[in-house]
Chains A and B, each alone.
Chain A
Amino acid sequence: MRMVVAYIRRVFKILRAEVLVLPSRVAVLVFIAAVLALPLVTQDYYILRIMILTSIFAILAASWDLLSGFTGQMNFGHALFFGVAAYVTALLNLRLGLPPYFSIPLGAMGAVLAGLIIGIPCLRLKGSYLALTTLAFPIILMGLVFAFPGITGGELGLSGLKKLTGSRVADYYVTNVLMLVLGGIMWKITDSNTGIILHAIREDEVAARAAGINTTRYKLLAFCLSGFFAGIAGGLYAHFMRLAGPSTLEVGLSFQVIIWSVFGGMVSIYGPIAGVFILNPFMEVLRIFLDNFPSLPEMRMFIFAALVLLTLRFMPEGLIPWLRDKVESECPRCKVRNVFFRRSCRICNAEMT
């Protein structure tokens, strides 16, 4: 009993010393709590469905950031990983009858394989050439999907997969907890020594090579990791929608991922996640709201585009880093972040300017 009390005390101490001192950490804590507590507030089928899709896309957007934001390998065909994993998961589930907890990781491995296959030829390319090549791969795959309707179901796709879990609330918890865990893992990867190497490759690849780093290996690693996380998202999507169709390979989805990430803030795993969690529910709210005005049918996409453009104009580094810079400032001496209203640094006591 005393041990438990001591443990709780320690948790509170860490909470007070490390988490509550910074608005961004508080925001993360509030976000996690809100995500976990949402089904207690409402069990509305529609809202939960939106949030499940949002969390799946959040994994996808974060995985894009891991590859393109950190390593600088502009991938304009991120839907490839999503689609490959969705199809592999669907095939495994339908043909072999594997349950979701086997088919989703195996589907993700399929996406890793796809990452290797497109990664090896793409390693020679840079910048816009890489972007165009990666853009082509999902389109090629979509052609293959249509060419073999016997295996892939053609335009209709593969339907009738097993449900993710029995109930909507359980689905919600599976996808959202996975989103939090995978987001945490991705953030940890980018925060480690590997993350520094990925940063270095983005900044100057020749200099990274001259520092003795095998950049080819690390770029391939980034492709595979990104493919794995995007693949998990694809498998979850297939099992949740109970359908793996050509829409998972669409060019539109690839661009959607980029828009979410750029809106939320690239080169930070939390940025794309926040971007999805802001834009996706916002679009749904807008849909419901605009239904009252039938004379404005395409207003939704217009508002969406205007919002993204304004964000890019006034906050070029993305919404979340911009907000973060507003509420936090860096200590000039020790570079630790502080709340903006502090007069002195919380670590080194230097005067904040």
Chain B
Amino acid sequence: MAQSFLEVKNLRKEFGGLTATNDVTFSMGRREIIGLIGPNGAGKTTLLRLISGILKPTSGSIKFKGKNITGAKTWNIVNMGIASTFQNMRPFRRLPIVANVMVPCLSPRAMKRGEWVKKVEAKAMDALEFAGISDMALEKASTLSQGDLKRLEVARAVATDPELLILDEPFGGLSPAETELMAKSVARLHKGGRFGRLHSEGPAMIIIEHKLQQLMKIVDRIIVLNFGTILADGPPDVVVKDPKVIEAYLGDGGTTCS
């Protein structure tokens, strides 16, 4: 394939005097799962927001399936097939959970993909079913626990049938058991197929996460960011042994990283 699925080139974002991401360049294939790690403030979330169009880059370009999406409107990017979740969950608090998921189901992309789905609500229910919170569909979103909010975020992202799914700390704040469950559903989603009325393309994924043990199990490749630059890029077992990475995480003299 001549063009790669997602191509990020020399991406740079400055907030005033602070350079959040500094000439980040990477590309990914259609079937890949990338883990994006790095210490706090390394620019992971900024990179995600640049790709999903919430922030506009200072310079650099992002290409998705050969099309330049740098600085495009968020909803256009979503409708091209890039869905993302928020690190600090942003549900529509006063709406029932099912209505939360109906909103992405009403986006042009989801409507086109699910032409045979007469009822938006049914599709939203299937997205909730996939995320595992369908039993609470009629509760207000403000009543959900932290872990369930994470699932709601995932359900909302999945409901647009994305081709590239960007998850920002999907395991953050979850108990070990919940993390296990979430990791399983992410892996299941990546395989693709049908979940009820919900169609999964088997999206490529970028996962930002701090819980490396779980992350290592599902990703093919890890990118390490530090101070806005890419420190290391490669298969998980190689990356964690990289002395530069260990130094960034633990400082000098560290031996293990988990």
Q: Which residues of A contact B (CB under 8 A)?
A: 193, 196-197, 199-200, 203-204, 206-215, 334-335
Residues of chain B with a CB closer than 8 A to A197's CB: 103, 106
Is B6 in contact with chain A by the CB < 8 A criterion? no
Which residues from chain B sit less than 8 Å from chain A, CB to CB? Answer: 52, 54, 73-75, 78-79, 83-84, 86, 90-96, 99-100, 102-104, 106-110, 120, 138-139, 156, 159-160
A208 to B106, CA, bound (A): 11
In the bound assembly, the distance between CA atoms of A237 and B56 in angstroms comes to 47
Interface residue from B86, B106, B139 paired with A196 (Cβ < 8 Å): B106
Residue in B75, B90, B138 whose beta carbon sits within 8 Å of that of A212 in the complex: B75
Interface of A is mostly: helix
Does the CB pair B138–A193 fall under 8 Å? Answer: no
Q: How far is the CA of A32 from the CA of B108 in the complex (A)?
A: 38
Docked Cα-Cα span, A196 to B95, in Å, equals 8
Known: A199-B92, A204-B92, A335-B96. A210 touches B106 (CB 8 A): no
Extra A-B contacts (17), CB below 8 Å, given A209-B75, A210-B54? A193-B102, A200-B95, A203-B91, A204-B91, A204-B92, A206-B54, A207-B90, A209-B73, A209-B78, A210-B84, A211-B156, A211-B160, A212-B78, A212-B107, A212-B110, A212-B160, A213-B106
Q: For residue A199, which residues in chain B have a CB less than 8 angstroms away from its CB?
A: 92, 94-95, 99
Could you show 29 A-B contacts with beta carbons less than 8 Å apart? A193-B102, A193-B106, A193-B120, A196-B95, A196-B102, A197-B103, A199-B92, A200-B100, A203-B91, A203-B93, A206-B54, A207-B90, A208-B103, A209-B75, A210-B52, A210-B74, A210-B86, A211-B78, A212-B75, A212-B78, A212-B104, A212-B107, A212-B108, A212-B160, A213-B75, A213-B106, A334-B138, A335-B138, A335-B139
**How near does chain B come to A207, taking the closest CB pair, in angstroms?**
4
Interface centre among B92, B109, B156 (most CB of A within 10 A): B92
A333 to B, closest residue via Cβ: B138
Most chain A Cβ neighbours within 10 Å, of B78, B103, B120, B139: B103
5 closest A-B pairs by CB: A212-B107, A212-B78, A203-B92, A211-B104, A209-B74
